[in-house]
């Protein structure tokens, strides 16, 4: 007769924890993301994409990638050098938030914020322009905010297109050093009168050189003026002006965005943040899993006594 195999308390704990994790993560859920690999962000790194398509259009090796060449914090950042200049899908979109921001009468939360840090790759200036917009939920267009970074020989020119008298109106916000990291804070309050949206861009907040500019933004009133359907926002969309290999662009780091509503501004409805690091995302419901795990271990210890 063979003796029944013995099972150690440690193995019991591991088995029960495995069952708990399987129950905590629904069948068909996306894999738990453990961080950024060096190389292109898409398709698939932490939900970054080409919007309505998984990957980026006409994206060649070296056009964009997570890198250790420079970082505002940690050891990694995202370098966006050049690429497809489309106003629609195919350029880098940040992961869509679980809520949507836009005109309140259409049922959307009315406030969206974004913060990121950037630095020019080539301090002497390469002429590259990177445009930052909001992305639409369909991932096929730009909307909401618009901020333009141009790396010139005189420094990084930062500006935006406002909307005045049914036409575009350029506003130069500041020219910043091309050798340093700079912080950008964007606060957007969307209204039912699209030309009265309130968009504030603040550069280098908390420093002696902080600059702030408030006004509207062209995409919403332009759509209305030209008879196009309103487009709300749930992400950030990046678009490079040049695909030339001489364009080295910018490093981006410590990026975050939130959606809330001015009726209850202290409540964040949806948020996303990343530092493009190798280890970032926690297992879903970490507090619940930790409590369950401690319970299992307590049972095992009691069994041993």
Question: Long-range contacts: 55-60, Cβ < 8 Å, 24+?
Answer: 56/83, 56/84, 56/90, 56/91, 56/92, 57/83, 57/84, 57/86, 57/89, 57/90, 57/91, 58/83, 58/84, 58/90, 58/243, 59/83, 59/84
Question: Residue 162 has what pLDDT?
Answer: 98
| Per-residue pLDDT tens over the stretch 31-67 | 344 589 999 986 679 999 999 999 999 889 899 999 9
Residues near 146 by beta carbon (within 8 Å), at least 6 away in sequence: 131, 132, 133, 160, 161, 217, 218, 219
> CA 229 to CA 157: how far, in whole Å?
32
pLDDT of 29 higher than 70: no
Question: Residue 35 has what pLDDT?
Answer: 87
- Peptide bond before residue 43 is cis, with ω within 30 degrees of 0: yes
Question: Residue 303 has what pLDDT?
Answer: 46
| Per-residue pLDDT tens over the stretch 62-82 | 999 999 999 999 999 999 999
pLDDT of 282 higher than 80: no
- Lookup: tokens for 75: 């050891």
In the chain, what are the domains?
Answer: 35-304 (2.60.120.200)
> CA 163 to CA 196: how far, in whole Å?
9
CA Rg, the chain, in Å?
A: 23
| Per-residue pLDDT tens over the stretch 241-251 | 988 888 999 99
Torsions phi, psi for 90 (to 5 deg)? 105, -10
pLDDT of 158 higher than 80: yes
Cβ pair 102, 197 in contact under 8 A: no
Percent of the chain residues past pLDDT 70, beyond the cut: 80
């Amino acid at each position: 007769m063979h003796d029944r195999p013995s099972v150690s308390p440690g193995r019991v704990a591991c088995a029960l924890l495995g069952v708990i994790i399987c129950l905590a993560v629904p069948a068909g859920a996306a894999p738990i993301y453990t961080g950024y690999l060096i190389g292109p962000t898409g398709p698939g790194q932490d939900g970054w994409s080409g919007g309505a398509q998984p990957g980026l259009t006409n994206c060649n090796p070296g056009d964009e990638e997570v890198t250790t060449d420079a970082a505002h914090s940690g050891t990694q950042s995202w370098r966006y050098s050049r690429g497809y200049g489309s106003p629609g899908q195919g350029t880098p979109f940040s992961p869509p938030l679980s809520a949507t921001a836009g005109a309140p009468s259409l049922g959307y939360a009315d406030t969206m914020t974004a913060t990121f840090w950037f630095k020019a790759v080539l301090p002497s200036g390469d002429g590259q322009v990177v445009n930052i917009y909001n992305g639409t939920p369909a991932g096929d267009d730009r909307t909401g905010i618009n901020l333009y970074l141009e790396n010139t020989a005189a420094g990084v020119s930062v500006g935006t297109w406002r909307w005045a008298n049914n036409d575009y109106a350029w506003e130069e916000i500041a020219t910043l050093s091309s050798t340093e990291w700079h912080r950008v804070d964007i606060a957007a309050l969307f209204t039912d009168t699209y030309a009265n949206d309130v968009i504030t861009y603040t550069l280098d907040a908390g420093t002696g050189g902080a600059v702030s500019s408030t006004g509207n933004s062209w995409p919403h009133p332009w759509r209305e003026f030209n008879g196009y359907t309103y487009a709300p926002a749930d992400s950030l969309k990046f678009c490079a002006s040049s695909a030339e290999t001489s364009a080295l662009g910018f490093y981006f780091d410590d990026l975050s965005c939130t959606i809330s509503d001015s009726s209850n501004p202290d409540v964040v409805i949806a948020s996303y943040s990343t530092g493009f690091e190798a280890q970032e995302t926690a297992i879903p419901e970490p507090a619940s899993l930790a409590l369950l795990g401690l319970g299992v271990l307590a049972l095992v210890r009691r069994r041993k006594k």
